[in-house]
Structure 1
């Protein structure tokens, strides 16, 4: 029995159309299949591998920690150097009010914690998110979704969830003194990469301050240099009350965090205690990898170079089939086409040429561009050529006309 056949029978799927690539190794911006074929990775595990695959410093940090100890106790009970050092370095890069960290294992788990924190602190029932936002797929996080085609099969979900429209100041009229928190992606990710206006963020911050509403910023996908800054919110005149991190934060291992001030965070430990716990949150291996990753970003010019690389890639992506390109300032953008059918044909065609791309959860007419920040100029150029060649083939054979 082949590994592929075992995969088809033993592994539960998330969709009927998985990429189904059998990966044997990964280095830098490249994945390698069983036939040693190289694939340029422009997905990065959905924004996880910001520093590429098999970064030597991260691998060494994992090895060093594995030689000491793995899991010793549920989160928060033992003093462990990887957790403490990572929390200290992380908070040194944040506004003073974001000074205490609660580690979890995944972004959606951290969102759940932030939701619980908001309701406990405020005593208010209502939580607000944006239409087309994605904060995770566990019960509470899924309840924040506006897409009822995805949520209805799992209902009834967590009650008292309302929605505003991203970048629509008029939709903020629903904010009032019954709202516990607004949960916002600074960059809407699975909607297809939409950046905020400064006016919207200013109005939102003002409304939250007026009504005593916590502003929870979800940077699960946008942090760690993905938008050309260490944190996307730092590009705006905005300080969140609560910050949520995940994905690339762990340097390739499962790690997430909720960050707020001490007074807010201590409520998770008191009145009553032991009501928010995680067994594997802040795992020593994950924190060691996350610490190594953050040190690399801070000690190098990788983030600055990623902005230049993004500009280089954008200059090379010019094709009549492209409807719109939505940048973020870093190596994270969306390329929009006129329909989903074209995207469904483009993805396997690009994969055949050695380039891995995918679409978004709430936008199937756009493709995600998210290579490792460490990708070389030569690899960027190669990827651009593969993508343009695939589009040329579609322009000849696809029924969709030029736009």
Structure 2
């Protein structure tokens, strides 16, 4: 199978992990050679309720027996879309009242950028250094990493990058600015949380000049940081909120949320000026509704904070330079690239999947499923600690 995979599936690196997956359940992924791996990165912050959560699987089966795709997004009334949007917006600030459903995170970013430009009539965009917003052209244009941008230049013009968590150069946000886009917690940039007072100053500056504020919570959303979205912890409300990853419980779906007033600009001059064929696919929407309903009904969001406390108390200072992040969106800063590589490899040999970031060679990313039981959490953290001590 691996040879066929390498021959017929387009590759994204010279060294794919190459695990041949048999099935997955809860916090575990099983391979065809009967090995079991603890998925401590949740498919990169996707499977927050574990793999194949029973409520999500049940919703998928029920919807498959009703209908699949019937019409491009926004034309037919489809119950899974309505149920999800109603439940989601009822748990968001009042002005975030309508949802545009798409298929992925980068599509959510693309839609948010277009919406901001259409609503404001402006073209200037502000992003932040070391940010990551996706790999399509618009999303890449506002991603603050030249190593990924340079091979695809020219990208969107009139995009400017500021330092994250710095109040310098805020005057770049001016009356020509359509939007400021940011991750409240930079993910690929090294798991860097924004400072609350800084975020409030960004919000204030946007209000002063009439620019929209876009939060990219594609990775930080749906309970991962100890609140439903990171914005709840920061007490700063964006004009547009982007989401994906954990949204569908393992099914592909994304979305961006804004006010009815702002979304009006998509309806006119011309109508249908932003459309998607498969956005809000009914099976994915049904899964997203079941996933969110379960997330809100249990103690999963509180569990994210418990996970953070356990990780910090177990690992902080024990050969690890820093533990940073919020909730179950955490990064371990190690002393060297060699140590980081060895720790990740040693844990892989022990059946534990850890994550890298594209930004730093010394950061190990942790995004465990929120369903992880305490004994398994302890086992994984002890394995990480053992590997650090061995190779430090």
Q: TM-score range by the shorter chain?
A: over 0.9
- RMSD in angstroms over aligned alpha carbons? 1.2
- Structure 2 CA distance, aligned partners of 1:70 and 1:339? 49
Report the CA distance between 1:104 and its aligned residue.
0.3
Q: How does 1:294-333 map to 2 (within 5 A)?
A: 294-318=292-316, 320-328=318-326, 330-333=327-330
Instruction: State the SS of the aligned residue for 2:361.
Output: strand
- Structure 2 CA distance, aligned partners of 1:221 and 1:50? 11
Q: Choose the corresponding residue for 2:336, options 328, 331, 339.
A: 339
Q: How does 1:99-110 map to 2 (within 5 A)?
A: 99-110=97-108
- Structure 1 CA distance, aligned partners of 2:351 and 2:185? 28
Q: How does 1:357-396 map to 2 (within 5 A)?
A: 357-395=354-392
Report the CA distance between 1:251 and its aligned residue.
1.2
* Conserved 8 A contact 1:104-1:110: yes
Q: Choose the corresponding residue for 1:123, options 100, 121, 124.
A: 121
Instruction: State the SS of the aligned residue for 2:381.
Output: helix
Q: How does 1:48-63 map to 2 (within 5 A)?
A: 48-63=46-61
Report the CA distance between 1:120 and its aligned residue.
0.9
Unpaired runs of at least 5, structure 1: 396-403
Instruction: State the SS of the aligned residue for 2:387.
Output: helix
Report the CA distance between 1:108 and its aligned residue.
0.3
* Conserved 8 A contact 2:95-2:259: yes
Instruction: State the SS of the aligned residue for 2:168.
Output: helix
2:8 match: 10
Alignment size in residue pairs: 392
- Structure 1 CA distance, aligned partners of 2:135 and 2:79? 31
Report the CA distance between 1:250 and its aligned residue.
1.2
Q: Choose the corresponding residue for 1:153, options 151, 154, 157.
A: 151
Instruction: State the SS of the aligned residue for 1:103.
Output: strand
Report the CA distance between 1:174 and its aligned residue.
1.2
- Structure 1 CA distance, aligned partners of 2:110 and 2:338? 35
- Structure 2 CA distance, aligned partners of 1:61 and 1:197? 39
1:399 match: none
Q: How has the CA–CA distance of structure 1 residues 33 and 117 changed in structure 2, closer, same or farther, with 3 Å as cutoff?
A: same
TM-score (ref. length: structure 1) = 0.95
- Structure 1 CA distance, aligned partners of 2:154 and 2:41? 33
* Conserved 8 A contact 1:306-1:374: no
Unpaired runs of at least 5, structure 2: none
Instruction: State the SS of the aligned residue for 2:213.
Output: strand
* Conserved 8 A contact 2:339-2:388: no
- Structure 2 CA distance, aligned partners of 1:241 and 1:149? 30
TM-score (ref. length: structure 2) = 0.98
- Structure 2 CA distance, aligned partners of 1:268 and 1:275? 6
Report the CA distance between 1:319 and its aligned residue.
5.9
- Structure 2 CA distance, aligned partners of 1:338 and 1:392? 12
* Conserved 8 A contact 1:250-1:286: yes
Bigger Cα displacement from structure 2, 341-350 vs 230-239: 341-350
2:82 match: 84
1:20 match: 18
* Conserved 8 A contact 1:354-1:386: no
Q: Choose the corresponding residue for 1:247, options 245, 248, 260.
A: 245
